[in-house]
């Protein structure tokens, strides 16, 4: 049975580009974003005046950031839409681009994420409600409590949490676009300063600046535009949801991850165990263990064991966060989800030099936003 994403001949990623993620500095956001867009255009072999629409994922720059930035490539009259959904801003910008292409509105759409480190003000802190705890809306506190529960219920220890960071820092060291480029040992991760609970600094993602861009193209337009179909990755699924009421603390986040991943796999007609690659939200190390189970690449309760036996390593059963993830590659917010799509595209093309996962055919990019929204995309390697 076909789904909406099969419309207009299917949806493809034809070009990708990034500006390396970096610690906050005075580089203008326009330079970050335009670097990524120009790289995506060159990668696809397209001109900017062929782009019909743009979706810009950003959280901290301000109003109308996209038009201010894109005018430097030319005033072509394209439609520009700004998207904000916390950590998942870029992912939702990509989803909007996919919907526009699949719906036949446009054949070439730009999805870009760009951000500078901002003040991080959250709507949850301005809702006019009093709370029992001043830390109730701080993600690090929530995930530290979830980590403590995970260790207790799974019979794991703090080494299991630290091992996630070791793997992802190691992957990031092989990624020229990553914010952290230095491998870490288990001893270094555990010895880094504590943030909250069992989570140390090197088990928590950095904030910073960066940009990532992808060009989404319809299958109907591939030949007409003269694009290389052997480098165009197909988008098989896009699924999004938000939290439901939870019966126990932390269950809401896990259920929304599970539901969004299940829906995406159903739409793509694949099983989670078919995935060769998985890029997921590991802002805190425990998330990778929890979400690998919730998404279904391993059995419930086996996240730590799956990691320990190398199944989530590059060239393991399913490479999880081959990019370095949020912990190693960085988490500039707006670009993060689109950076995941760029990593999957590079891997599925067989172009991830230095960190290539062998025989990669299927990948999922999964993001959450403040633990209350989730979004998943499934991508397939080009037909050869």
Instruction: Give the mean pLDDT of 365-383.
Output: 94
Question: What is the residue-wise DSSP string for 92-149?
Answer: HHHHHHHHHHHTTS-SEEEEEEEE-------GGGGSS---S-TTTT-HHHHHHHHHHH
Q: What is the DSSP string of 357-382?
A: PTT--EEEEEEEETTTEEEEEEEEPP
Query: Which tens digit of pLDDT belongs to each residue from 272-320?
Result: 999 999 999 999 999 999 999 999 999 999 999 999 999 999 999 999 9
Q: What is the pLDDT of residues 60-119, one digit of tens each?
A: 999 999 999 999 999 999 999 999 999 999 999 999 999 999 999 999 999 999 999 876
Rounded to 5 degrees, φ, ψ at 136 are -60, -30
Residue 130, beta-bridge partner list: none
CB atoms within 10 A of CB 382: 17
Summary mean pLDDT of the chain: 94
Tokens 């300063």 belong to 193
Strands 362-369 and 277-279: parallel
Q: Taking Cα atoms as reference points, which of 81, 22, 44, 52 lies closest to residue 345?
A: 44
The answer, yes or no, to whether residue 250 has pLDDT greater than 80, is no
Q: Which two tokens stand for residue 25?
A: 């500095």
Does the pLDDT at position 57 exceed 60? yes
pLDDT of 138 higher than 90 = no
Q: How far apart are CA 143 and CA 131, in angstroms?
A: 18
pLDDT in tens, 154-199: 888 999 999 999 999 999 999 999 999 999 999 999 999 999 999 9
**What's the pLDDT tens digit per position in 318-341?**
999 999 999 999 999 999 999 999
Would you state the pLDDT for residue 2?
72
- 209 pLDDT band (50/70/90 cuts)? very high
- C-alpha 149/C-alpha 146 separation (Å) is 5
Would you list the domain boundaries of the chain? Answer: 4-118+207-231
pLDDT at 131: 66
**Structure confidence at residue 370 (pLDDT):** 85
- % of the chain residues with pLDDT over 70: 94
pLDDT at 1 over 60: no
> What pLDDT score was predicted for residue 123?
61
- 200: tokens are 């140390």
Topology of the domain covering 4-118+207-231: Peroxisomal Thiolase; Chain A, domain 1 (3.40.47)
Residue 135 exposed, middle or buried by CB count within 10 Å (0-12, 13-18, 19+): exposed
Neighbours of 187 (CB within 10 A): 10
pLDDT at 82: 97
């Amino acid at each position: 049975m076909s789904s909406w994403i099969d419309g207009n001949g299917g949806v493809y990623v034809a070009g990708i580009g990034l500006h390396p993620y970096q610690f906050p500095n005075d580089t203008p956001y326009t330079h970050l974003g335009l670097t990524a867009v120009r790289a995506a255009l060159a990668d696809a072999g397209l001109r900017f005046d062929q782009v019909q629409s743009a979706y810009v994922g950003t959280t901290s720059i301000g109003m109308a950031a996209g038009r201010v930035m894109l005018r430097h490539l030319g005033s072509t009259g394209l439609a520009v839409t700004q998207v904000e959904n916390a950590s998942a801003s870029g992912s939702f910008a990509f989803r909007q681009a996919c919907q526009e292409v699949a719906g036949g509105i446009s054949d070439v759409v730009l999805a870009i994420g760009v951000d500078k480190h901002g003040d991080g003000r959250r709507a949850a802190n301005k809702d006019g409600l009093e709370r029992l705890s001043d830390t109730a809306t701080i993600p690090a506190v929530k995930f530290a409590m979830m980590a403590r529960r995970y260790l207790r219920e799974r019979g794991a220890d703090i080494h299991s949490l630290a091992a996630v960071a070791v793997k992802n820092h190691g992957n990031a060291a092989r990624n020229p676009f990553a914010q952290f480029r230095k491998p870490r040992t288990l001893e270094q991760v555990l010895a880094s300063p504590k943030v909250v609970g069992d989570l140390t600094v090197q088990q928590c993602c950095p904030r910073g600046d960066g940009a990532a861009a992808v060009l989404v193209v319809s299958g109907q337009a591939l030949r007409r535009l003269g694009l290389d179909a052997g480098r165009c990755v197909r988008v098989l699924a896009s699924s999004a949801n938000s939290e439901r009421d939870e019966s126990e603390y932390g269950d809401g986040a896990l259920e929304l991850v599970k539901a969004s991943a299940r829906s995406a796999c159903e739409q793509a007609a694949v099983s989670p165990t078919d995935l060769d690659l998985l890029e997921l939200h590991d802002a805190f190390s425990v998330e990778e263990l929890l979400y690998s189970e919730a998404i279904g690449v391993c059995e419930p309760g086996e996240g730590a064991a799956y990691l320990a036996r190398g199944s989530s390593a590059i060239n393991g059963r399913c490479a999880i966060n081959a990019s370095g993830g949020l912990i190693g590659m960085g988490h500039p917010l707006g670009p993060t989800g689109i950076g995941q799509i760029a990593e999957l595209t590079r891997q599925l093309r067989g172009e991830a030099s230095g960190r290539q996962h062998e025989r990669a055919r299927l990948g999922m990019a999964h993001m959450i936003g403040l633990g209350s929204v989730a979004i998943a995309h499934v991508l397939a390697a080009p037909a050869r």
